[in-house]
Structure formats: structure tokens, C-alpha cells
Structure 1
Amino acid sequence: MRFTTPAGLTLRAALAASISGAVLAGSLTVVLIIAVVGGMIITAYASDLLGYVPIHPPRHVWPIFWSLCGLVALGWFTRAIERAVRAERRALLERAVPPSEVAVVETSHLDSAVDRLARQVGIPVPELRVDPTATPLAYTTYRPTDPIVRVGRDDTPVIVISRGLIETLPQSELVAVLAHEIGHIANDDLRLMTLVLVPFVAAETLTEDEGATTNVSEICGHLLSFVASIGVSVFSRGRELAADRAAVTLTGDPGALAAALERLDGAEPTKPTADLREHTRSANAINVLPTLGPAKTVAGVRSTHPPLETRLEQLRSLATD
């Protein structure tokens, strides 16, 4: 069963929200338990030391201290999640420059295409930047200074395409890819993906302080991040198909997007052999292709994108409507 209808997308969102909510609750619980247990160990040593001096604090002082340990740990954990998300956004944009600053490659038509497509769907015109890499890439992300979780829709994310994408695709296919990204913005996918993403980042934060997986925090973090990746992927796959449909509506040319997807999927020599970013949580960016991990190896329930054939089948059906 393919959840590509509006009702199906809602079902996917509900399922992803349930998984992500459970992961976030689990991550916070792990941090709270570790902090409180640590506080209890500290007070046990403190009680032994105080046994040698004439100081006897009231019994209710210790539970208050344990609670404070938990609150401090939760505050630190929240701050760590925020730093991780902002660092990734910064990495996604650090090399990208306005099209006018790109030498050699012709980019004069790109800004006008984005402006026209954005006006078609009635959204603020997003900023367009070009990454100098030769790898064909197209993704949309927020700026590092933007709120982690946005509450409104009147925002202007940044669309990033690479020099490799411009050099690989003819103009009609490049416009189709830009329409796909505009479709994500119009469908509010980036904001919704961030909501699903935060629990994933929370789970991975538990694994980042240590290199080994021999402690409770590491083990719980890996288990929770595995479950969270399923929630991210369930949500993402449906949104990719919706963005493909939006691109066809905007351009009126399903063949252009289909050709672009096939051309990019076949660009093996320039495709990244490793994760574009370090973790799957790089869903900080909505991508036209599965650059969150090797597309050939990350499959099944953890795949962030539908199979190419599924996308082409949908585009063929739209061409015959």
C-alpha cells in the first residue's frame, strides 16, 4: 500500500509523529535517569563525608538536589540538540554562494526560475545558492540563525544546488528539480521534517560523547536513533512523492523531472560514496535524491526516498492524466 494520497500523507505524518514522540520521551528519560542516579551517587559520598563533621542537612535536601541534577541535565541536553542542528545547517551552507558569484557556469536563468515558481504557489521567494562541488546536489534547508522549530509558514528557506547539478542537467530538467524543491517549501515539508528530526538528533546526542558503545547512554542512544530513523524515513518518503507531484503541477512537464531523476541516478562517477553529511539527521535538508546515505545500501523502512521506479511510475501516471 502506498501512502501518497492526502489521507495517506496524514497517516504517514501521524505514524512518524508517534515514533518520534516516543523516541524523544525515551531520550529525555535516559538523560533524566542518568542525571538523578549520578546525583544519588554524589550524595552517598557526601553523606559519608558529612558523617565526620557536625553537619546534618535535613533529609529533604537530597531529593531537591537530585531534582536539580535532572533539570540541569535536561537543560544541557536541550542546548546540545540545538547546537547540533545549527552546526549542520551551517555545514550545509558554508560553501554555498549566490549564483552571481559562480564563475564559468551560466546561472542567469536560475533566480528568475525560482522567482516564477515561488510566485506560482504563492510563497515568499526563497534564496538560491550554488555549492561549488562537482557532485550533483539539490536540497533545501534553513539558515543556522533561524529558529530550530518554526511555528509560522512565512519563512524563506535556502535552496542549494551544486555546480555539478547545473553542468549535468539541461535547463528544462534543472527547472523541474527547482520546482521539486519549491514543492517541498509549499507543502511545508522543511518545517514538518524538523519536528520529526529533533527526536532523532536527541537520540544521536546520547552517542556523541563517547566513542564506544559499552555504557548505558551509548546503547540507548543507538537503539533510539535506529527507531527514530524509521520515523524520519516513513515521513520523508511520502513527502518526496508529494513534491514530485507538485513539480509536475508547476512545470506541466512530468517528463522533465523523470529525465532528471534518471540522469542523476545514473551519474555514478560523481555520486557521493559516503554520507553527504555525517549522520542521517541531515534531513535538516530536504533533498531531491537520497544523499542522506548511500541509496543502494539504505533501503526498506529506513530509506528516506522512494525507489526510483516508484517515482517514475507516479510521473508516468501523471503524464497520462
Structure 2
Amino acid sequence: MMRILLFLATNLAVLVIASITLKLLGVDRFTGQNYGSLLVFCAVFGFAGSLISLFISKWMAKMSTGTQIISQPRTRHEQWLLQTVEELSRAAGIKMPEVGIFPAYESNAFATGWNKNDALVAVSQGLLERFSPDEVKAVLAHEIGHVANGDMVTLALIQGVVNTFVMFFARIFGNFVDKVILKNEEGQGIGFYVATIFAELVLGILASIIVMWFSRKREFRADEAGARLAGTSAMIGALQRLRSEQGVPVHMPETLTAFGINGGIKHGLKRLFMSHPPLEERIEALRQRG
């Protein structure tokens, strides 16, 4: 029920903000071959969803994972966790993020937030229980690397650009089918809407490949940041520990998968849609880095 309410609230916010912006710009209606107006129309809707998701990412992460924020440490483990994140944040040159623990057996961690000075870093209970302190520190350093590199903002902007052009070319295709193939000169008919929806599905799948490619590149950069902050051997050790647990299924909300240190395993064509490179490649990249 909560997932449905979050979905409806997000989409309502997108519609309200997009409608107001379109009215102000005077492009709330697209007719004819006015591609400039169409591009603005698509950009507003394309960026609205990704930016709204970015701005409410911390709240959604807490709600969807059950993350408990450590405001006052109750145990020496929580105290160590806060001190370690503070130390890593200072070394990375960012403001101390919120720190939390989410109840999950699998070893995972994520970082999110709309900017590097207002972020959230969270680790799973399973990771804390099974990883050594050096490995936990390396995982935290990896997530701090995501924050310091601005990966959340970067991927949100990339998603906005991709959304814009998916909508733009899908509507051009729909207009072509409606006017040229179906010879409908009276306005946008059923052919336009069917063709547009079909094109959005196909282009959306292709666009996901681009977004996931960027995500994999950012993952290598976060590993490098983790190695700088916590030591290369510790970062490699943490990734090797993750690899040893690859039989454990990863349960992470889809919106957070790109920012979790463990993205699961995919083979074949599914590799194109991986948010993370294979752990073997990440370990080898760190070894070559020295």
C-alpha cells in the first residue's frame, strides 16, 4: 500500500510542476511540426520525474528499505560507524552525511541524496555482522566516493536527458505513423497514441542501456575513491567478500540499485542492463591501479 501511495504522490507532483512550467513557457500544447515547442515539452516532463525523484531520494530510501538513522549511537558499533563516516567524509571534502542501518540479511550498502552535502549513507545489518572492520570501512568509503563524485546528480541529469529524447522521438514517430501511413489529417488520432506508446517502450529499453553504461562507469570511480580513502587492499578485500556471497539474492528497491555497492549477478544480454560491472572486473581494475 505504501509503495502505491509513493508512486501516486510522485506522479502527481510531476504533473503539477510540469503543467505549471508548461503554462509559463506557453508550450502547453503541441501541434503541427513545431519541434522546438515539442522538445521543450518533452524536456520539462523528462527532467521533472528524474529531478523530483532525486530531491525526495533520501525520504524514499528510508521508507523503502526501513533504514534507521543513527542520531544518537546506542552501541559501540554504531559509535564506530558514525566516527568512520565522519573521518571518511572529512577526507573526501564533503559534509557529514546522515548514517543509517537497514534490516537486510544480504551484504549491501547505498548512498543517496540530492547533493553531496545533504546525503545519506546506509549499510545493511548483514554486512555489519559478517564483514571485518576494514572491509566495512572500505564499503563506506566506496559510498562516500559516490557522494563526493556527485553520482546521484549526474545520473539524475543523464536520466532526464534520456527521458527527453525518448519522448521527443516517440512523438515524432507517432506523428509520422498517424499522418503519413494512416493518412489522418484531422489531428492526432488513435494511430498517433498507439505508435507513440510503442516507440516509448522500445526507445525506453534502448535508453536504459545508455543509463546503465554510465552507472557502471561511475561504479569504477567509486571503487577508486574507496581505495584512496580506505586503502586498495581493504577495497579489494570488501569486493572479494561480496563475491563470496554472490549466491545470496540482492533485494534492493529499483530506484536505489545503481547506488548499492552490490548490484547482483546478470549474464548474457542482461549484462547490458547491469547497474554494476562484474565484481571480477572491479577487483582487477583495482589491482591494476596498484
TM over 0.5: yes
Q: In percent, how many aligned pairs have the same letter?
A: 26
TM-score, structure 1 as length reference = 0.60
**What corresponds to 2:229 in structure 1?**
250
Corresponding letter in the other structure for 2:260: N
Alignment of 1:1-321 (within 5 A): 36=30, 89-94=58-63, 95-99=66-70, 106-142=77-113, 146=114, 155-199=117-161, 215-252=194-231, 254-272=232-250, 276-278=252-254, 282=256, 286-290=259-263, 294-296=265-267, 299-319=270-290
Gap change, CA 1:135 and 1:225, over 3 Å in 2: same
Contact residue 102 and residue 130 of structure 1 kept, 8 A: no
Contact residue 203 and residue 221 of structure 1 kept, 8 A: no
SS at match of 1:289: coil
Corresponding letter in the other structure for 1:246: A
Larger RCO of the pair (alpha carbons < 8 Å, separation 6+) = 1
1:166 Cα deviation from its structure 2 partner:
0.8
For 2:226 and 2:42, the matched residues in 1 are separated by 44
1:129 Cα deviation from its structure 2 partner:
1.1
TM-score, structure 2 as length reference = 0.66
Identify, as 1 or 2, the structure richer in helix: 2
SS at match of 1:158: strand
1:79 Cα deviation from its structure 2 partner:
5.0
For 2:45 and 2:132, the matched residues in 1 are separated by 48
For 1:301 and 1:261, the matched residues in 2 are separated by 21
SS at match of 1:175: helix
Aligned length: 238
Please provide the CA RMSD for this pair.
3.9
For 1:317 and 1:141, the matched residues in 2 are separated by 29
Contact residue 199 and residue 228 of structure 1 kept, 8 A: no
Q: Look at both structures and tell me which one has the larger radius of gyration over its CA atoms.
A: 1
Contact residue 111 and residue 120 of structure 2 kept, 8 A: yes
**What corresponds to 2:187 in structure 1?**
none
State the Cα deviation string for residues 133-179 of structure 1 (Å, max 9, x = none): 2222211111xxx5xxx6xx6x2211111111111211110000111
Contact residue 104 and residue 125 of structure 2 kept, 8 A: yes
Contact residue 43 and residue 160 of structure 2 kept, 8 A: no
Corresponding letter in the other structure for 2:233: G
1:131 Cα deviation from its structure 2 partner:
0.8
